[in-house]
A and B are shown apart, each in its own frame.
Chain A
Amino acid sequence: MRNVYFELTKEFNAKGRIAVLASGQAVVYHRIAIMSKDGDWIIREDAQTCRHVLDVLAAHGARYRMSAPLEPRWLAGGWSSHFEFLDEEGRRIRCDFVSRPPRLTQRETEALFTADADPLDPRLAVIGLLPLIRIKQTQRAKDYAVIGELARRLPPEAEAELTTDPDRILALAGRFPSTRPALRAASSGAGRLAVVTELAREIDGLQLRDRDRIERYEAAAEAYFAAIRRERVLDRPLAEAHESLVTLAGRLLPEDPRDA
């Protein structure tokens, strides 16, 4: 058996790179840890890509989970789309998609689709270490342990700016100019406690920013979610559910809650 999410990535990219595997399965690909049961992809933001992804998912018998429709109109506003199916072994496969990953610029996102793929199979496009670290700066504490391990793989100057390991900050301090408070604390000889404190402050700030961002989307989705439940959209086959979600979202889901 192969990693089902690696295989799905190859299916999505069968005719060219439209999906880049990210988050937890990228952590597996980079041989850091096995800790995610879901698949997450960053996809190109166009109608053809969305149709192809939906076709692949439909062929696997996938259904929508409560989410925005997989359409450029809402993907462009930072929304995510979520699906689920059972594989032939009866295992739950969850598939999540965005086209505007948080904390990456548009240019950085576009670069994902031209970066090097797996040397053995060009269809297996996986996010690189640097953008992976940035998208993992979430509100979840466990992501920061993974960031520390990912950062070890980077050149020292980049590691110094991104690591979450206070011992690595102390080891790298003073070697490169930096405005990062934790590095400056280490360079100034303020001691380990000062470094740990600055690091905790930094991580807390990242977590709060991510939480604020997500709360906007949750609030914006209330009426839309209510309509989905009322009309039992998620019980329907994928193509039918998609059309219904697009109709409901057109009425009830703000395209970009960040504009509010």
Chain B
Amino acid sequence: MKLLSDDDLDLASMTPEELDRAWDLWFELAQETNDHDPPYTHGVFVGLDHEKLRDLAVRGSDRAAYRAGTEAGGAGTNPEP
């Protein structure tokens, strides 16, 4: 079963200089999609898109405000939607 295409795989026969040039050209072209890339492709924040990242920070602010409110003896803001 072919898991990747021939275009993907035809690197083994390249010289180091050819591979550098191919990667450089690919990287240059790939810059076009920067604005649409997910914020993370590795690490522990993979899966967070820009919207989720904002939500996470907002939920964190809401929870902090709620805790501040409850610690002060007030009702606070309910952080749950």
CA distance A126 to B8 in the complex (A): 20
Residue pair B8, A218 in contact (C-beta under 8 Å): no
Taking each of A33, A65, A167, A225, which has the highest tally of chain B beta carbons within 10 Å of its own beta carbon? A225
Q: Mark interface residues in B38-58 (1 if CB within 8 Å of A CB, else 0).
A: 011111111110000100111
Residue pair B57, A222 in contact (C-beta under 8 Å): yes
CA distance A32 to B47 in the complex (A): 24
**Interface of chain A: mostly helix, strand, loop or mixed:** mixed
| Contact partner, B23, options A28, A89, A145, A218, Cβ 8 Å | A28
Q: Which of A103-111, A173-181, A226-234 contacts B (4 or more CB under 8 A)?
A: A226-234
Residue pair A32, B9 in contact (C-beta under 8 Å): yes
Contacts of B61 in A (CB 8 A): 226, 229-230
Given contacts A1-B24, A165-B3, A36 and B41 within 8 Å (CB-CB): yes
Residue pair B60, A222 in contact (C-beta under 8 Å): yes
Residue pair B22, A37 in contact (C-beta under 8 Å): no
B54 — nearest CB in chain A belongs to which residue? A229
Residue pair B22, A34 in contact (C-beta under 8 Å): yes
Residue pair A3, B31 in contact (C-beta under 8 Å): no
| Contact partner, B43, options A96, A164, A222, Cβ 8 Å | A96
Residue pair B63, A80 in contact (C-beta under 8 Å): no
CA distance A4 to B26 in the complex (A): 12
Q: Which of B53-78 contact A (CB under 8 A)?
A: 53, 56-61, 63-64
Residue pair A38, B41 in contact (C-beta under 8 Å): yes
B65 — nearest CB in chain A belongs to which residue? A226
Q: Mark interface residues in A108-142 (1 if CB within 8 Å of B CB, else 0).
A: 00000000000010000000000000000011100
Give the interface residue-count category, chain A. 35 or more
B11 — nearest CB in chain A belongs to which residue? A31
Q: How far is the CB of A68 from chain B (nearest CB, A)?
A: 8
Taking each of A33, A65, A227, which has the highest tally of chain B beta carbons within 10 Å of its own beta carbon? A33
Q: How far is the CB of A255 from chain B (nearest CB, A)?
A: 13
Contacts of A138 in B (CB 8 A): 46
Contacts of B27 in A (CB 8 A): 3-4, 37, 91
Residue pair A66, B39 in contact (C-beta under 8 Å): yes
Residue pair B47, A146 in contact (C-beta under 8 Å): no
CA distance A195 to B11 in the complex (A): 30
CA distance A145 to B11 in the complex (A): 16
Contacts of A34 in B (CB 8 A): 8, 11, 22-23, 26
Given contacts A92-B34, A211-B47, A221 and B56 within 8 Å (CB-CB): yes
Contacts of B16 in A (CB 8 A): 120
Contacts of B22 in A (CB 8 A): 34
Q: How far is the CB of A3 from chain B (nearest CB, A)?
A: 5
Which are the 7 A-B pairs with shortest beta-carbon distances?
A80-B43, A226-B60, A222-B60, A217-B44, A145-B3, A148-B3, A226-B61
23 example contacts (A-B, Cβ-Cβ < 8 A) are as follows A3-B23, A28-B23, A32-B4, A33-B4, A33-B11, A36-B41, A65-B40, A80-B42, A81-B43, A96-B40, A96-B43, A138-B46, A139-B47, A140-B46, A146-B3, A149-B9, A165-B1, A221-B60, A222-B63, A224-B60, A225-B57, A226-B58, A226-B61
